[in-house]
Structure 1
Amino acid sequence: MGPIFLIGYRCTGKTSTGKYLADLLNKTFLDTDLVLESTYGTTIAQMVGRHGWAYFRAKETQTLMNLDLKNSPVIATGGGIILAEENRQFLKENGIVVYLYATASVLTDRISKDENNTDRRPDLTRDSLSLETEKMLEIRTPLYQELAGVSIDTEKYTPKAAALEIKAQLDPGSRTEIS
């Protein structure tokens, strides 16, 4: 099994689920947002504030392309990584893509409660959080769905249960009960 890329909007559980999945599969876990921030010594919000969205998206692509895919890691990607055709092609060609999703109302609630959201993640629009989430999902959902080899509704699964379900779908003989 090659690398596993977790895609989805903010607060769908990519990082939490990814850590559990990496442990289950005995693989390394990477988060493209954290790799990018570490590489450039700044938060995404600071980068966007100083240089703009186009600059950030270019650095996001560069970060994705430079990931070490040896040993087939589990990789949580930034929510907008799928916006660039180059990134979508890379994800399709280099691993298994797992789409984590939830409704706009649930995501809005999760984002508003996420301590990392305001400090590290910039607003995507000047709209209210709920309207921004709805607009972004309208644009991004078809792209997420197009890439997905596996899709998991994170309203129905905790991160640990989602990781077990992903493992079961990727390797049907491995289905395990949640403890």
Structure 2
Amino acid sequence: MDPIFLIGYRCTGKTSTGKYLADFLNKTFLDTDLVLESTYDTTIAQMVARYGWPYFRAKETETLMNLDLENAPVIATGGGIILAEENRQFLKENGVVVYLYATASVLTARIRKDENNTERRPDLTRDSLSLETQKMLEIRTPLYQALAAISINTEEYAPKAAAFQIMAELDPQSGNP
């Protein structure tokens, strides 16, 4: 089995779903944001504040390109990783891409509840959270959709159920566990 890359906007459930999926498949779970933060011993918010978005995006690409894909891990990617063409190409060529999504209003509510959001995730624009989310989804959704082999609406599936749905779509012959 190829690596599985989970893509989608903030708070679509990439990390939670990815952990369940990796566990069910007996695979390693990686989160590119956590790998990046560990590698550079800083949070993404601190990195962006200190060096700016272009620097962060470059380090994000470097992190993706240096992942150990040897044992076909399950990988949760940062929400904006799809903005760089070379990242999109890498994802397509090196694994199965699964797009997790929800509506802007649901994501805004989830982001507001996410305790990690303010400390680790920098604002993307100077707009209100709901307007920022809407604007970012307008830009990113076509990129996410174009990459996806599988798409899962995380308004319909909690993380564990989403992981089961991904497994069923990866291997339709096996039936839903």
TM-score by length of 2: 0.99
Q: Which residue of 2 aligns with 1:74?
A: 74
8 Å Cα contact 2:167/2:176 also seen in 1: no
8 Å Cα contact 2:2/2:72 also seen in 1: yes
Detail structure 1 runs of 4+ shifted over 3 Å in the superposition: none
Matched letter for residue 103 of structure 1: T
- Post-superposition shift, 1:136? 0.0
Instruction: Answer yes or no: is 1:98 the counterpart of 2:98.
Output: yes
8 Å Cα contact 1:100/1:153 also seen in 2: yes
Q: Which residue of 1 aligns with 2:120?
A: 120
Matched letter for residue 114 of structure 1: D
**Distance in 2 between the 1:116 and 1:33 partners?**
12
Q: Which residue of 2 aligns with 1:147?
A: 147
- Post-superposition shift, 1:173? 2.1
**Distance in 1 between the 2:175 and 2:75 partners?**
22
Matched letter for residue 76 of structure 2: A
**Distance in 1 between the 2:44 and 2:121 partners?**
6
Equivalenced residue count is 177
Matched letter for residue 61 of structure 1: T
What aligned pairs does 1:149-168 form with structure 2 within 5 A after superposition?
149-168=149-168
8 Å Cα contact 1:45/1:120 also seen in 2: yes
Q: Which residue of 2 aligns with 1:176?
A: 176
Report the RMSD for the aligned CA atoms in angstroms. 0.5
What secondary structure does 2:20 align onto? helix
What secondary structure does 1:2 align onto? coil
8 Å Cα contact 1:164/1:175 also seen in 2: no
Q: Which residue of 2 aligns with 1:37?
A: 37
- Post-superposition shift, 1:128? 0.1
What is the aligned-residue identity percentage? Answer: 84
CA deviation profile, 1:114-140 (whole Å, cap 9, x unmatched): 000000000000000000000000000
CA deviation profile, 1:133-170 (whole Å, cap 9, x unmatched): 00000000000000000000000000000000000000
Unpaired runs of at least 5, structure 2: none
Q: Which residue of 1 aligns with 2:24?
A: 24
Q: Which residue of 1 aligns with 2:83?
A: 83
**Distance in 2 between the 1:11 and 1:174 partners?**
29
8 Å Cα contact 2:44/2:121 also seen in 1: yes
8 Å Cα contact 2:6/2:98 also seen in 1: yes
Q: Which residue of 2 aligns with 1:136?
A: 136
**Distance in 2 between the 1:26 and 1:174 partners?**
16
- Post-superposition shift, 1:81? 0.1
TM-score by length of 1: 0.98
